[in-house]
Amino acid sequence: MQARAPLMIEHRLIERMIAVLKDALRRIRSTGKVDPLLVDAAVDFIRVYADRTHHGKEEDILFRALEKKELSPKDRRMMNDLAEDHVFGRATTKALVDANTRYRNGDYGALADIAEKLTTLVEFYPVHIEKEDKVFFPAARSYFTEGEDRAMLESFREFDREMIHEKYGAVVKALGG
């Protein structure tokens, strides 16, 4: 298995969450309401799985390894654009959290902001994923030897093993422990 394979598998789960968010948007538009718990679950998925776990592997392992390589100007631009996409996704998710908090506190006008941020995420992720799957990952693979690729795959596995401890360490800390 090449190192890019787990990243592409993760993309498939992110796409499934995007389908869930599309359904949530349809319900918002038809009922004029949103389930704040669904938004909380979506935010948790985006922050922990899509951003920290998936983008973490890209930024902390793949991009760092590529920083040491002599990338073509096109590939370097693409990598920088993808990193900027990650920042955009984080900012959009933060705005979604803020809107959901306002909605939960009785500001029903925040529903429009929730719908806007969900729409942004639903439109953003498929484009971002396609850039990675179809353009960047194949190009990035050419910069690594087989041994480097296998080592990166092992780094991805170790990163994943540590994530559960990071997640629940943060939960306990947030609860005062």
Q: What is the pTM of this model?
A: 0.91
By mean pLDDT, which of 66-75, 142-151, 155-164, 165-174 is the weakest?
Answer: 165-174
Domain ranges of the chain: 4-169
Q: Note the pLDDT tens digit of each residue in 143-162.
A: 999 999 999 999 999 999 88
At residue 157, the pLDDT reads 94
Name the pLDDT band for 1 (thresholds 50, 70, 90).
confident
Looking at residues 119-144, what average pLDDT do you find? 97
By mean pLDDT, which of 59-63, 104-108, 130-134, 158-162 is the weakest?
Answer: 158-162
What lies within 8 Å, CB to CB, of 80 at 6+ separation is none
3.40.1160.10, 3.90.420.10, 1.20.120.520, 3.30.1130.10: CATH of 4-169: 1.20.120.520
Query: Closest Cα partner for 139 from 81, 85, 89?
Result: 81
DSSP code, position 109: T
d(CA 86, CA 113): 20
C-alpha distance from residue 96 to each of 5, 39, 117, 126 (Å): 30, 8, 6, 18
At residue 170, the pLDDT reads 83
pLDDT at 40 over 90: yes
Looking at residues 78-105, what average pLDDT do you find? 97
In single-letter form, the type of residue at position 157 comes to: R
Tokens of 70: 């002599």
